[in-house]
Amino acid sequence: MFDSERILDQQQKHTTRRLFLIGGAATTAYIALSRLSHSHVEASENVHGTPGEVTIVDFKDDGTRLGKETVPKILKSDRAWLDQLGKNSFQIARQADTEMPFTGVSWREHRHGIFRCLCCDTALFSSQTKFNSGTGWPSFYQPIAKENVAEREDVSLGMARTEVRCVRCEAHLGHVFNDGPEPTGLRYCMNSASMRFIPA
């Protein structure tokens, strides 16, 4: 390799690393500013969502699959959700905020069990598909049942992402990315504040 090629290769590596670090710092700064801007929580009596029924897969707390069932969607006012969840989980699960990385209770949870929706108790993820992504958020390569989560396009923050929500109550859980491990190649990057862990 010529010296000029070696220098160019080193410059490209430094530029890529610099962009990665700047992007990470910018994301962390945005989340911090977002948290400050939400210091006062507005919770109206308005009910959001569309009434109806959904089909989910039910699970025992030990992860045993019980089968599909059709259940009514859970709709409540913002005030009722805030009273049930508290400020932090309300902002994340009901207002699509994001918790700071490495602060949630379940990003370092390694026991066997399942993760349920904090809002409606629907089974969402199994510890068997959880992996350490190094991001500071609990990460999974697939949901416990695809029927239990809904995905939709999210173009906030000036980028296109795929948001993940609980199918029964529409709680914001996080986002899914295509940089995960085998067998799916997906990384479901979730917020601890939207889920509760049930040890088996």
**Residues acting as catalytic residues:** 189
* Contact criterion met (CB below 8 Å) for 195 and 106: yes
| Beta carbons of 178 and 133 less than 8 angstroms apart | no
As a whole number of Å, the end-to-end CA separation of the chain is 56
In 51-182, alpha helices (H) = 78-85, 87-89
Of 75, 61, 153, 68, whose CA–CA distance to 112 is shortest? 61
- Fill in the DSSP letter of residue 93: I
Give the position of tokens 């210091």. 39
